Amino acid sequence: MGAINAVVDFLNEIFWGYVLIYGLIAVGIFFTLRLGFIQFRHFPELFRSVLRAPESDASGITPFQALCTSLASRVGTGNLAGVAVALFLGGPGALFWMWVVAGVGMATAYSESTLAQLYKITDHNGQYRGGPAFYISRGLNAPWAGVVFSICLIIAFGLVFNAVQANSIADAMQGAFGVDKIWVGIALAVLTGIVIFGGIRQIAQVAEYVVPFMAVAYLGMAVYVVIANITEVPGVLALIVKSAFGIEQAAGGVAGAMLNGVKRGLFSNEAGMGSAPNIAAVATPSPHHPSSQGFVQALGVFIDTILICTATGIMILLSGVMTPRSELTGTPLTQEAMVAHIGEAGRYFIAIAIFFFAFTSIIGNYAYSENAMVFLRLDQKGTIGVLRIAVLLMVIWGAYTTVAVVFNMADAAMGLMASVNLVAIVLLSGTVAKLTKDYFDQKKVGTPRFDPDAFPELKGKIEHSIWSRR
């Protein structure tokens, strides 16, 4: 076990000390500039792409279902336990750097999901499939890199990340209700199995109902806390900004705030990681253009970090429970903060919130790994069954594994995935820019509709019939 930990620590040092801490922000800034600050200038388009009349066909799911499924994966332990860890290690300024990652990450999320839509295929069951592995293979003519990405995705999302989510649920349930972690893991595995054995469509349907409910309930509680402590809010916001730049001394200093903010920001919103594009590709876009799904997933980043992560951070900072001498971190810190606001009921509220957030993350993560199996041509009934059983076993294992080990493994897996994906989307940035221009040129005169014949350079790289059938 010592050797494994040493390897994991080395990988994390490379990824998070040198590559991704700068690469994620750099790529986000690159797309923000190249696309003309698209996430800010065309912010209403993010909502319009979701709120238009729902569209679907026999091959895909609706844009709203795709948003909810991606949020199911995004909104998990990173939004509650992860934010608490970031604040504990990096101080209040970590929240500011999470905002920065989200702001520029919206452009990254738009780009990778637009590419996923463009290069999607129809599988042998007639269902849309796609994601980074497909645009790496088809767009860059690098099938080997698609294979590497797919394997990383299955390991990270199908296995490691689901262990992370199960760990947080078990911690919360044991802390609030005194339930033994192993029984939490078994019960969670049963519930997960009921959903994932129904396939992508069943996952999307469950997410469509559960995700909006949990998000509205959590944000509603945050609004109550802010209103109840409204006089203290300006001071907390000032503390966040000051700590981010070292004006106000805090744990970790500027470097600590940036490192932990970026790490937990990515872990939460997943922009640039190459995860959400897997479900973005499954959607039937409305309007019928790859860019429209890009806007949908950019909105997902906004909801995840700017709304939900901020809600957690503000509630913790307003509670006063995070002091220099306090050893509270992760889920217990978030729970104690809520106890300070609404009494002992807060402990149960956070436990229930974590259950819903993390459970939906597990089923969303599984959906991504199933897409990777399609790319690897391992989507036969038997091999998919093996994947599903492995996911359930990781859920049980994660429930009683120490959080430090699980988080370290998650960081390493995420770092490798993100590195591969970031290189790919930068190399394909010209295609993203051309698609974006095409979308807005058409929007000036009517409803955008992608015409594959207008992009002759894509001939043989995209599935022409998908875009010409409507």
Q: Tokens 């939490």 — which residue?
A: 184
Which DSSP string corresponds to 128-190? EE-SHHHHHHHHSS-HHHHHHHHHHHIIIIIIIHHHHHHHHHHHHHHHHH---HHHHHHHHHH
Q: Rounded to an integer, what distance in angstroms lies between the CA atom of residue 414 and that of residue 80? A: 19
pLDDT for the residue numbered 30: 96
| Residue 392 backbone phi and psi in degrees, to 5 | -65, -40
Q: Rounded to an integer, what distance in angstroms lies between the CA atom of residue 325 and that of residue 251? A: 11
- 63: which 2 tokens? 């844009």
Q: Rounded to an integer, what distance in angstroms lies between the CA atom of residue 302 and that of residue 281? A: 19
Q: Rounded to an integer, what distance in angstroms lies between the CA atom of residue 54 and that of residue 56? A: 7
Q: pLDDT tens digits for 74-87?
A: 887 778 878 888 88
Q: Rounded to an integer, what distance in angstroms lies between the CA atom of residue 238 and that of residue 249? A: 13
Give every residue of the chain whose pLDDT is below 50, as ranges: none
Nearest to 1 by CA among 390, 405, 414: 405
pLDDT for the residue numbered 253: 59
pLDDT for the residue numbered 335: 83
Q: Tokens 């806390």 — which residue?
A: 225
The 10 Å Cβ neighbour count of residue 142 is 15
Tell me how many degrees the CA angle 65-70-75 measures, rounded to the nearest 5. 120
Single-letter code of the amino acid located at 90:
G
Number of domains into which the chain is organized = 1
Beta-carbon contacts of residue 139 (< 8 Å; ≥ 6 apart): 115, 119, 424, 428, 431, 461
pLDDT for the residue numbered 404: 63
CATH code assigned at 185: 1.20.1740.10
Nearest to 214 by CA among 324, 373, 66, 356: 356
Which DSSP string corresponds to 362-400? HHHHHHHHHHHHHHTT--SHHHHHHHHHHHHHHHHHHHH
pLDDT for the residue numbered 1: 56
CA distances (Å), 96 to each of 144, 220, 239, 265, 457, in order? 38, 22, 10, 10, 41
271: left (phi over 0), alpha (psi -120 to 50) or beta: beta
Q: Tokens 């209040």 — which residue?
A: 92
pLDDT for the residue numbered 56: 59
Radius of gyration of the chain (CA): 21
User: The whole model's pTM is what?
Assistant: 0.89
Helices assigned H by DSSP within 270-344: 277-280, 290-301, 310-319, 330-342
Q: Rounded to an integer, what distance in angstroms lies between the CA atom of residue 24 and that of residue 42? A: 22
Q: Which helix (H) or strand (E) holds 37?
A: none
CA 171 to chain centre: 21
| Residue 344 backbone phi and psi in degrees, to 5 | -60, -25
Tell me which residue range forms the domain holding 285.
Answer: 2-468
pLDDT for the residue numbered 17: 72
Q: What percent of the residues of the chain are helix, what percent strand, and what percent coil, each to the nearest 5?
A: 80, 0, 20
Q: Tokens 């093996």 — which residue?
A: 386
The 10 Å Cβ neighbour count of residue 343 is 9
- 216: which 2 tokens? 């509205």
| Residue 377 backbone phi and psi in degrees, to 5 | 60, 40
Q: Rounded to an integer, what distance in angstroms lies between the CA atom of residue 427 and that of residue 421? A: 10
Beta-carbon contacts of residue 246 (< 8 Å; ≥ 6 apart): 93, 253, 254
Q: Which helix (H) or strand (E) holds 121?
A: strand 121-122
CA distances (Å), 213 to each of 347, 356, 357, in order? 19, 10, 11
Nearest to 452 by CA among 463, 440, 441, 442: 463
